[in-house]
Amino acid sequence: MKRRQFITKASTLAGAGIASVGIAKASSNPKIKWRMTTSFPRNLDLLYGTSQRLADSVAAMSDGEFEIQVFAPGEIVPSTQVFDAVQNGTVEMGHSTSNYYHGKNKALSIDTCLPFGLTTRMQNAWYYAGGGTEILRELFDKYNIVNFPGGNSNTQMGGWFRKEVKTIADLKGLKFRIPGFGGEIFSRLGAIPQNIAVGDIYSSLEKGTIDATEFVGPYDDQRLGLQQVAPYYYTPGFWEGSAMLTFYVNKDAWNTLSPRNKIIFERAAAECNMWMAAQYDAKNPEALATVIKNGAKLRSFSKEILQAAYDVAQEIYTEEAEINEDFRKIYTHWKDFLNKEYQWFRVNENIFQQFMFSQFRRQS
């Protein structure tokens, strides 16, 4: 992309959401030029849009001195090699989701989420006020990476199924596209987890190569048209009660930044983290209505499936903690935080919200 196109695109995206205060023009001669490779194609506009928003914020706050150019998957490295590209210094930074690197070290998945884990509010509390950032930084440091929270999808949907699944027996032999710990849970429940690229999901469901797939939530899912080939749309995506994205910065690149540029980057990243969550919360309601109007049939996972999945998840975590010191250390901290948070939210936020939901049942 040429410079002029790049700047124009940046200005357009920066104008979305909160009323922009005007983006400074990029300097014609920036002192710092970084490349950010992302895992998210441009048409997933909230995901890719958050990558671009970080670049815009940093450019504007540094008066164009610090420029970050964003690259879509495949332009430098594929979607799932962002972590490696940052670690190796191929690029100065990346934007991805750490559970893509589950095979490298399962402790990395905690950075995104664990199944039956924290909500978005709790996850932010852990990162920004509960010691989560500090303990995860020790892990990422082993990979020469400095990590920053970089957006959240909030609770994801459970995905698209060709047939209803009501019991554990219904999961037997089910070919379900689901990665990471979510896949391990379904595997223990008798399903057969699959890895299939996003572009191949529709045809795989149509042909019956797979029986079900998870993706994100209504706003992103509506683009795939899956209600045509897998009409049962399940809630909730219990393996991603929230799902955080992460900005990765190569540690050597980070260490070259001035204190001022470091705090500009850090504050910009934090703002992006909140911005994405706000966008999903604002846009998912209408998107859910759209997919239902287009034929999706909304279903909840049964208590039987939820409970079996929960119990299996605890077994998996216990086993992983026994063989993986990184996982054990971070998981122990995370689990202690999770216990306290749910006890508190159950009292106050939950009683308020349950009453509010009761009013909507009353009206509808």
CA 180 from centroid of its chain's CA atoms: 13
Our CB check for a copy of itself shows the closer of 6 and 192 to be 6
Which stretches within 227-258 are classed as H helix? 251-255
**Looking at 40, 83, 127, 215, which residue binds a copy of itself (CB under 8 A)?**
127
Is 29 a residue that touches a copy of itself (CB under 8 A)?
A: no
Is 264 a residue that touches a copy of itself (CB under 8 A)?
A: yes
Q: How far is CA 205 from each of CA 173, 199, 215, 238, 319, rounded to the nearest angstrom?
A: 15, 12, 13, 22, 33
Footprint on residues 164-183 left by a copy of itself (CB under 8 A): none
244, HSE (Cβ side, Cα atoms, 13 Å): 32
**Looking at 8, 43, 256, 350, which residue binds a copy of itself (CB under 8 A)?**
350
Is 281 a residue that touches a copy of itself (CB under 8 A)?
A: yes
**Rounded Cα gap, residues 287 and 45, in angstroms:** 14
**Rounded Cα gap, residues 245 and 112, in angstroms:** 6
Is 345 a residue that touches a copy of itself (CB under 8 A)?
A: yes
Is 31 a residue that touches a copy of itself (CB under 8 A)?
A: no
| Number of residues located near a copy of itself, criterion CB under 8 A | 86
Helix (H) or strand (E) holding 313: helix 303-323
Greatest Cα pair distance in the chain: 63
Coil/strand/helix, residue 90: coil
Is 343 a residue that touches a copy of itself (CB under 8 A)?
A: yes
**Rounded Cα gap, residues 32 and 132, in angstroms:** 29
Is 251 a residue that touches a copy of itself (CB under 8 A)?
A: no
- Nearest approach in angstroms of CB 126 to a copy of itself is 7
- Nearest approach in angstroms of CB 268 to a copy of itself is 6
Convert residues 60-99 into a mask of x (bound to a copy of itself by CB under 8 A) and - (unbound).
Answer: xxxx------------------------------------
Our CB check for a copy of itself shows the closer of 13 and 85 to be 13
**Looking at 79, 98, 154, 227, which residue binds a copy of itself (CB under 8 A)?**
154
Footprint on residues 190-219 left by a copy of itself (CB under 8 A): 217
**Looking at 298, 315, 322, 325, which residue binds a copy of itself (CB under 8 A)?**
298
What are the DSSP E strand ranges found in the chain? 32-38, 66-71, 93-96, 145-152, 159-161, 175-177, 192-194, 212-213, 232-235, 244-250, 297-300
**Looking at 34, 48, 71, 126, which residue binds a copy of itself (CB under 8 A)?**
126
